[in-house]
């Protein structure tokens, strides 16, 4: 087994608010190996995007701050780097594709100039060579008339093309790790499939690892090697994709899978998860004593995962198949183990 490319251990990122401290990421640990795809899944508000931003040290301070843990890239502690050293890592060794390209691209610079800037910054090449690299990357991502598109502004392109520009910018310096934070959220299903196929193709050509943040389990099944399930700022289960789809061990993971629509059933009762992800400023000490109730029930505000023996574990700490996981409080476990709320879904017959 190869050495991990990225090692995240007990990562904790908190936000200071008027109502108290929000533990957006609370003790997350995982590894990513060269060339593999790790998918991080979970509901909105579970801490997926903040985990990604923490790896690149892009959490705004204030109000956010990485308060504990370690992030090592090839053994190098990223949390100990100076701001200048960290800027050299971003784009060169680790790149990120953000959720919404229209807000990630600068509207006053052409697409080609924004890609070329990253190349000039990290590779120290002349402007002509940087522009040639930008056009090459646009061609690599499947954009027609790449030289012409390089001189256009983001608002002149479609959503799918803007996302391809973001991919070209992220991969222009051949990073070892690509963080893709829900890269297909704002795209229609046809363009989604094209973007995912493109990422898989470029991953094979460049040999990079991918951290895929998503809430689409269908995408996970098609693209990921391993899966980490997040809930309330913590990883509750982690395993190889085939194993976790065949036999999810944690009650929350089972609840997520139960909520997936089945196309092979004409009349299906969808198992909805009532309520929402509990607030992350709850007193976890109460949870460890078994206080609170299951999500969606009275007292659910304090029903967060509490540390304990990890029923959701598929492999031990530091092993490629998993990392330390969590259990819910007894009350929360009893809620997830009960039958979920059904919602009738019928396919029309034409």
Nearest to 54 by CA among 74, 71, 31: 71
Q: What are phi and psi of 232, to 5 degrees?
A: 55, 45
Is residue 83 predicted with pLDDT exceeding 90? yes
| 131 in Cβ contact with 150 (< 8 Å) | yes
DSSP state of 2: P
The model's pTM is 0.78
- pLDDT tens-place string over residues 84-121: 999 999 988 999 988 777 778 899 999 999 999 989 98
Q: Which helix (H) or strand (E) holds 117?
A: helix 111-123
DSSP state of 3: P
**What pLDDT is recorded for position 312?**
45
- pLDDT tens-place string over residues 46-75: 899 999 999 999 998 889 999 999 999 999
Q: For tokens 């780097």, what's the residue?
A: 81
Mean pLDDT value of segment 125-149 = 91
Is residue 310 predicted with pLDDT exceeding 50? no
Mean pLDDT value of segment 254-266 = 78
Averaged pLDDT score across all residues of the chain: 79
Q: Which residues contact 176 (CB under 8 A, 6 or more apart)?
A: 5, 34, 73, 74, 93, 94, 208, 209
Neighbours of 223 (CB within 10 A): 20
**What pLDDT is recorded for position 299?**
34
Name the band, by pLDDT with cuts 50, 70 and 90, for residue 155: very high
- pLDDT tens-place string over residues 189-248: 777 788 788 888 888 888 899 999 988 888 898 889 999 999 888 999 999 999 999 999
Which DSSP string corresponds to 250-278?
SHHHHHHHHTS--TT-SEEEEEE--S-PP
Q: Which helix (H) or strand (E) holds 220?
A: helix 217-223
Q: Which residues contact 205 (CB under 8 A, 6 or more apart)?
A: none
140/282: higher pLDDT? 140
Show contacts of 63-67: CB within 8 Å, 24+ apart.
63/15, 63/16, 63/17, 64/13, 64/14, 64/15, 64/16, 64/24, 65/13, 65/14, 65/15, 65/16, 66/11, 66/12, 66/13, 67/12, 67/13, 67/14
């Amino acid at each position: 087994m190869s050495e991990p490319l990225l090692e995240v251990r007990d990562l904790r990122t908190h936000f200071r608010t008027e109502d108290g401290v929000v533990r957006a990421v609370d003790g997350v640990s995982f590894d990513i190996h060269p060339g593999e795809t790790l998918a991080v899944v979970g509901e909105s508000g579970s801490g997926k995007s903040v985990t990604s931003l923490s790896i690149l040290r892009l959490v705004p301070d204030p109000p956010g701050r990485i308060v504990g843990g370690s992030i090592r890239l090839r053994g190098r502690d990223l949390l100990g780097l100076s701001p200048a050293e960290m800027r050299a890592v971003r784009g060169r060794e680790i790149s990120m594709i953000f959720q919404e390209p229209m807000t990630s691209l600068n509207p006053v610079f052409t697409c080609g100039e924004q890609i070329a800037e990253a190349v000039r910054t990290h590779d120290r090449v002349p402007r002509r060579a940087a522009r040639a690299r930008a056009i090459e990357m646009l061609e690599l991502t499947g954009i027609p008339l790449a030289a012409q598109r390089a001189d256009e502004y983001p608002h002149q392109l479609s959503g799918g093309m803007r996302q391809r520009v973001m991919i070209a910018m992220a991969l222009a310096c051949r990073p070892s790790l690509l963080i893709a934070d829900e890269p297909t959220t704002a795209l229609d299903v046809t363009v989604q499939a094209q973007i995912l196929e493109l990422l898989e193709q470029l991953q094979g050509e460049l040999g990079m690892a991918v951290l895929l943040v998503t809430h689409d389990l269908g995408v996970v099944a098609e693209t990921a090697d391993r899966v980490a399930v997040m809930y309330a700022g913590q990883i509750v289960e982690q395993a190889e994709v085939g194993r976790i789809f065949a036999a999810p061990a944690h009650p929350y993971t089972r609840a997520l899978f139960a909520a997936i629509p089945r196309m092979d059933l004409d009349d299906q009762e969808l198992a909805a998860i009532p309520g929402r992800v509990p607030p992350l400023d709850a007193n976890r000490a109460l949870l460890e004593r078994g206080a609170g109730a299951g999500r969606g029930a009275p007292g659910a505000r304090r029903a967060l995962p509490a540390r304990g023996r990890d029923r959701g574990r598929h492999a031990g700490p530091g092993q490629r198949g998993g990392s330390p996981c969590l259990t819910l409080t007894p009350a929360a476990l009893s809620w997830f183990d009960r039958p979920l709320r059904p919602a009738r879904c019928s396919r029309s017959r034409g």
